[in-house]
Structure 1
Amino acid sequence: MKKLLFIVVALFAFGLWVMFSPPEDGGYMLIAFGSKTFEMSLWFAALVYIVSILVIWLAARLLFGSFYIVRNFSEYMSFGGSERAQKRTASGLVDYIEGNWLQARKKLLRAAPKVDAPLINYLAAARSAYELGDRAEAEKLLTIASETGPDAELAVALTRARMELSSKQYDQCLMTLLRIKGKAPQNPVLLDLLCEVYIARQDWDSLHGIIDRLRSYKIRSPEDLAQLELTIHRERLKKIGEEVRLLLQGDRLPKLRAAWERVPAYLQKDNDMIDVYARQLAINFEDQEAESLVRKALSKEWHPGLVHLYGLLRGRDPRQQLTTAEAWLKQHPRDAVLLLTLGRLCLRNEIWGSARDYFNESLRVKRDPETFAELARLLESLGETQRSSDYYQQALGMAALGLPELPQPKTRV
Structure 2
Amino acid sequence: MKKLFLLLLVLLAVGAWLGQKMVEDSGYVLLAYKNTTIETSIWVMLFVLVVLFFALHGTLNLINRGRKRSWKFTAWREHRNQRISRRKTLKGLTALAQGNWAQAQKQLVQAAERSDLPLINYLAAAKASHEQNNEVATDELLQKARSSTPEAEVTVAISQAEIQLARGQLEPSLATLLRLRSLAPKNTYVMKLLKDVYVRLSDWSALSDLLPVLRKNQALPEEQIRSLELQCYTKQLESAAASSGIDPETQLKTLGRVWHSIPLERARDIELVQRYTELLIKLGAEGRAEQNLRDLIKRHWDEKLVSLYGRVQGEYPQKQLQHADQWQRRHPDSPALLLTLGRLCMRNQKWQEAVQYFEQSLALEPSRDALAELVRLLRHLGEQSRAQTLLEQHMQLIANDLPMLPMPEEADLAAKVS
TM range, smaller chain: 0.5 to 0.7
User: Once structures 1 and 2 are overlaid, which stretch shifts more, 249-258 or 351-360?
Assistant: 249-258
2:135 matches 1:136 = no
Structure 2 residue aligned with 1:333: 332
Structure 1 residue aligned with 2:25: none
Structure 1 residue aligned with 2:115: 115
Instruction: After TM superposition, give the deviation of residue 161 of structure 1 in Å.
Output: 3.3
1:315-354 paired onto structure 2 within 5 Å: 315-354=314-353
**TM-score normalised to the size of structure 1?**
0.61
CA distance in 1, matches of 2:144, 2:233: 43
Instruction: After TM superposition, give the deviation of residue 111 of structure 1 in Å.
Output: 5.0
1:12-411 paired onto structure 2 within 5 Å: 76-77=79-80, 79-80=82-83, 85=86, 101-102=97-98, 112-124=112-124, 129=128, 135-136=131-132, 140=137, 143-150=140-147, 151=150, 155-162=155-162, 171-179=168-176, 181-182=178-179, 185=182, 187-188=184-185, 189=187, 190-210=190-210, 218=217, 220=219, 227=226, 232-243=232-243, 249-261=248-260, 263=261, 267=264, 270-272=267-269, 277-385=276-384, 388=387, 398=397, 410-411=406-407
Structure 1 residue aligned with 2:19: none
CA distance in 2, matches of 1:233, 1:400: 35
Amino acid at match of 1:357: Q
**TM-score normalised to the size of structure 2?**
0.61
Instruction: After TM superposition, give the deviation of residue 307 of structure 1 in Å.
Output: 0.8
For residues 103-122 of structure 1, what are the alpha-carbon distances to aligned partners after superposition, in whole Å with 9 as ceiling and x for unaligned? Answer: 99799777534433322333
CA distance in 2, matches of 1:158, 1:391: 64
CA distance in 2, matches of 1:120, 1:191: 23
For residues 260-280 of structure 1, what are the alpha-carbon distances to aligned partners after superposition, in whole Å with 9 as ceiling and x for unaligned? Answer: 45x16x538953366654443
The runs of 5 or more residues in structure 2 that have no matched partner are 1-10, 12-53, 414-418
Structure 1 residue aligned with 2:16: none
CA distance in 2, matches of 1:383, 1:248: 46
For residues 305-329 of structure 1, what are the alpha-carbon distances to aligned partners after superposition, in whole Å with 9 as ceiling and x for unaligned? Answer: 3212211222222122212212212
Structure 1 residue aligned with 2:3: none
Paired residues of 1:119 and 1:145 also in contact (CA < 8 A): no
CA distance in 1, matches of 2:378, 2:197: 51
User: Once structures 1 and 2 are overlaid, which stretch shifts more, 188-197 or 311-320?
Assistant: 188-197
CA RMSD after TM alignment: 5.2
Instruction: After TM superposition, give the deviation of residue 163 of structure 1 in Å.
Output: 5.3
The runs of 5 or more residues in structure 1 that have no matched partner are 1-12, 14-49
Paired residues of 1:161 and 1:176 also in contact (CA < 8 A): yes
Structure 2 residue aligned with 1:36: none
Percent identical: 29
Distance 1:243 1:383, change over 3 A: farther
